[in-house]
Structure 1
Amino acid sequence: MLEKVLSSYGVLPEEIHVYGNGLINDTWKIRSSERTYLLQRINDCVFKEPAKIDNNIRLIGRWLADKHPHYSFIQPIMSHSGEAIVHYPDYGYFRLFPFVEDSFAYDVVQSPAQAYEAARQFGLFARTLKDLPVRKLKTTLPCFHDLGARFEKFRNAIKNGNALRITECSEIICFLRAHAHIVETFNNLKIEGGMKLRATHHDTKISNVLFDQNGKGICVIDLDTLMPGYFISDVGDMIRTYVSPVSEEEKDYSRIEIREEYFKAIVDGYLEQMGSELSATELNQFVYSGLFMTYMQALRFLTDYLEDDSYYGASFEKQNYMRALNQATLLRKLLEKEAWMRAAVWNREAGGVRQEAGDLRREAAKPGRPKVRKSGRRV
């Protein structure tokens, strides 16, 4: 099968190995006599219109080549017929990328420095695309991070789901209902228009950043979920997946904690690139973004459990219930730290304002320089 697919690109493989541990798409590392590639099969049960992914990646590629030619962007390789995605009815949808030699991806955040660098890369990506006509991007996953829609699906599962499981989950159901204000905040932000619609990655886990041998970020990868969205999706998913020392699969909930130095690293890395681009309203929602994404993931896991694991599936009994409890625990921890996190963001921004003002004053004091007014950012 794979040999036939690769022939569409004129590639004669010498070695083929399964690559990575992605849950959605299948990926293989291909070695030929000329170079190394990554071949990926798009899961069209999840991404029902792969052409929309292709549209977005082509649009981004053209934009970056024209406006930011020095930005590292991994372009898909065109087939002999000039297509980025090839389709075989019996096998599915495939695409081919060049393999970036001497690059590394990680499944777990290993240090605050790594969290900072990943956040900086996602911030750089967002800033580089800030003037992209976002309406030209296609929505590859409808309602993916629409918390209002996710909450309605959760309510429907409580009404129509597995009755035994609904009874079993009564405590966490009550907890999530008690924090429905997180949904209300999201709905109000959309109505009030305080957040800018941006080109948003939507999947900012550490494994979607390539690093070089010195630990510096090269670029972000996996752009299937790139589509119009809000910055809270990208920042929130970093908070959700970087600040705790354990993943959403951890069953010992006592190990879940908020590592302050990792949160600060996210703040510093992302705002270094995007601090001047975010509005006052957006900056005020930096901490909320972590609550937003963690609450939504708890909803999604529990909804799936109540609907007999129809979306995520389960490799063992109660896996999605345990995942939901994990994320609910993380949400509790974030809520306990909310005031501290807000202060950390404010202190970072206030420090930046003081530094900027000092720089301006020193510049203005130089002979022959016109005086300038002090400037600052709102938080």
Structure 2
Amino acid sequence: MELNDIVIEFIGTDNYELSPITDGLINTTYLLEDKDQGKKFILQKINNHVFKQPDVIVNNHLMINEILRSNNYQFQIIEPIPSLTQKLLLEDTNGQPWRMLSFIENSVTFLTAPSLPTAFEAAKTFSYFLTVVNTEQLPALEDALPNFLNFEKRVADYKSSLKNAAPHLREKAKAEIEITNQLLSLPDQWIEMEKNNQIPKRIIHADVKISNILFDQNHSPLAVIDLDTMMISTILYDFGTMIQSYTNTTHEDDGSAQNNFNPEMYEAVKKGFLFYLKEKLTSTESDNLDYAAQVAIYIQELRFLTDYLNGSVYYSTKYPEHNLDRTKNQLELLKGLREYLGV
């Protein structure tokens, strides 16, 4: 099916308007307006090079939604919407899967936290979301991204990319490679804690950037979105990536950023994250929050650099040095965090 056929299969009319939403790094997303019904939806092409089993993320999404509904979840829930033939996924002529999701009117998103109160509310919202989904018995979520949080593999992948990179890429990233190599042992403690079962397995969102919360016009949270990466792992990752997302005073594409870590934002996010979770975390989890923030930023930097050295085949890029600029930005953020923590 062509794109027009897919739209008609979902909404039953060719009287529609598609507007691209360009914030995402992985999937291709559109705002779809059904002109006949006056309704809006999210239409999304799932990147099946990343999500190799798209049906898994759909099933996980449905399972998480059911947990939220059964626990009187207070925010709005994004619902997968079936086609006219009751299919949640449709394939185009290239074998790419498409889905349609509910759209929340009068909502806004932020690429960076606009204020300390908004950052606190966002972190508090994720704290509540994680509290609700982590019931006494973990559901049978399937792994949509095998090895996504396998940090040993992330390090090994980086070393392989460094070994096999084109010489001109290694030369351009020379300074970043040197800093990265100096910090290569940073994830070791995390890896050991997981191997020794020192940190409990929990349901995590795994992509808790501030752009994955919808806000109303007054910056009050409306919904947690993008449940594709939901998995069972350590909640330390969600805290760490929250810090990686919220405390950056610049966009992650800004390779010239200086002093881009905001310590006040760090404390606001930490307070919000602990709002509902403080009494649920183990002492090991609580004691390693600051460490988790460092590791999460470092791993994201490592992934950007790995992709750059591989020729930028994973993340969407707009120019040749895009992933290198992202790498520089994350290294500057990590530098600021470590200075603030005194490590």
Instruction: Assess same fold via TM > 0.5.
Output: yes
Code of the aligned partner of 1:330:
L
**1:313 Cα deviation after fit:** 5.5
For residues 27-69 of structure 1, what are the alpha-carbon distances to aligned partners after superposition, in whole Å with 9 as ceiling and x for unaligned? 2222223222111111112111101101101111222222335
Letter in 1 for 2:112: V
Shift in alpha-carbon separation, 1:243–1:10, aligned structure 2, 3 A? closer
Write out aligned runs for 1:205-284 (5 A): 205-254=209-258, 256-284=259-287
2:80 is paired with a residue whose SS is coil
Cα distance change, pair 279–84 in 1 and its aligned pair in 2 (3 A): same
- In the alignment, the residues of structure 2 paired with residue 107 and residue 167 of structure 1 have an alpha-carbon distance, to the nearest angstrom, of 31
1:353-372 matches, within 5 Å, as none
Correspondence 1:323-338 to 2 at 5 A? 323-338=326-341
Secondary structure of the 1:246 match is: coil
SS at match of 2:10: coil
| CA–CA distance in structure 2, aligned partners of residues 193 and 24 of structure 1 | 31
* Secondary structure at 1:18 match in 2: strand
| Aligned twin of 1:64 | 68
Structure-1 separation of matches of 2:94 and 2:311: 29
Tell me the equivalent position of 1:31.
Answer: 33
1:48 pairs, out of 46, 52, 59, with 52
Which residue does the alignment assign to 1:376? none
Contact 2:250 2:257 in 1 (8 A): no
Mapping of residues 96-245 of structure 1, within 5 Å: 96-131=100-135, 133-134=137-138, 136-245=140-249
Q: Does 1:75 align with 2:79?
A: yes
Shift of 1:149: 1.0
Structure 1: which amino acid aligns with 2:194? K
Q: Deviations over 1:185-204 (max 9, x none)?
A: 11111022222211111111
1:10-21 maps to which residues of 2 (within 5 A)? 10-21=11-22
Alpha-carbon spacing, 1:167–1:25, altered in 2? closer, same or farther (3 Å): closer
Change (3 A) 1:153 1:135: farther
Cα deviations across residues 265-321 of structure 1 (Å, max 9, x unaligned)?
101111112111111111111111221111111111211222222323643333322
RMSD, aligned α-carbons: 2.1
Look up the SS of the partner of 1:296 in the other structure. helix
Superposed CA offset, 1:130-179 (max 9, x none): 11643511111112122211101111122222234334434332322221
Structure 1 residues 15 and 132: CA distance shift in structure 2, 3 A: farther
- Structure 1 contact 123–273 (Cα < 8 Å) conserved: yes
* 5+ long unaligned stretches in structure 2: none
**Structure 1 residues without counterparts, runs of 5 or longer:** 341-379
Does residue 92 of the first structure (1) align with residue 93 of the second (2)? no
- The question of whether the paired residues in 2 share the 8 Å contact of 1:85 and 1:93 is answered with yes
Equivalent of residue 300 in structure 1, options 282, 300, 303: 303
Structure number with greater Rg is 1
Would you say the 8 A contact 1:64–1:71 is kept in 2?
A: no
Following the alignment from structure 1 to structure 2, what is the Cα–Cα distance between the partners of residues 19 and 182? 39
CA distance in 1, matches of 2:322, 2:252: 10
Residues 16 and 28 in structure 1, CA contact (< 8 A), matched pair in contact too? no
Please identify which structure carries the higher helix content. 1
Please say if residues 13 and 31 of structure 1, whose CA atoms lie closer than 8 Å, have aligned partners that are also in contact.
Answer: no
Q: Identity of paired residues, percent?
A: 28
Which stretch shows the higher mean deviation, 85-94 or 97-106?
Answer: 85-94
**Runs of 4+ in structure 1 displaced over 4 angstroms?**
none
Change (3 A) 1:69 1:297: closer
Q: In structure 2, what is the Cα distance between the partners aligned to 1:257 and 1:106?
A: 17
Q: Among residues 303, 310, 315, which one is paired with 2:318 in the alignment?
A: 315
Alpha-carbon distance in 2 for matches of 1:187, 1:275: 23
The amino acid of 1:5's aligned partner reads I
Distance 1:163 1:313, change over 3 A: farther
Helix, strand or coil: the match of 1:228?
A: strand
What is the rounded CA distance, in whole Å, between the counterparts of 1:69 and 1:244 in structure 2? 30
Taking a change above 3 Å as real, the CA distance of residues 190 and 135 of structure 1, as seen in their structure-2 partners, is: farther
8 Å CA contact 1:157–1:306 kept in 2: the answer is: yes
Q: Work out which structure has the larger RCO, using CA pairs closer than 8 Å and 6 or more positions apart in sequence.
A: 2
- Rounded Cα–Cα distance in structure 2 between residues aligned with 1:88 and 1:145: 30
- Comparing 150-159 with 16-25, which one deviates more in the overlay? 16-25
In the superposition, the TM-score normalised over structure 1's length comes to 0.83
Deviation, structure 1 residue 87:
2.4
User: Secondary structure of 2:314's partner?
Assistant: coil
* Alpha-carbon distance in 2 for matches of 1:234, 1:13: 41
Letter in 1 for 2:200: K
Q: Distance in 2 between matches of 1:299 and 1:114?
A: 29
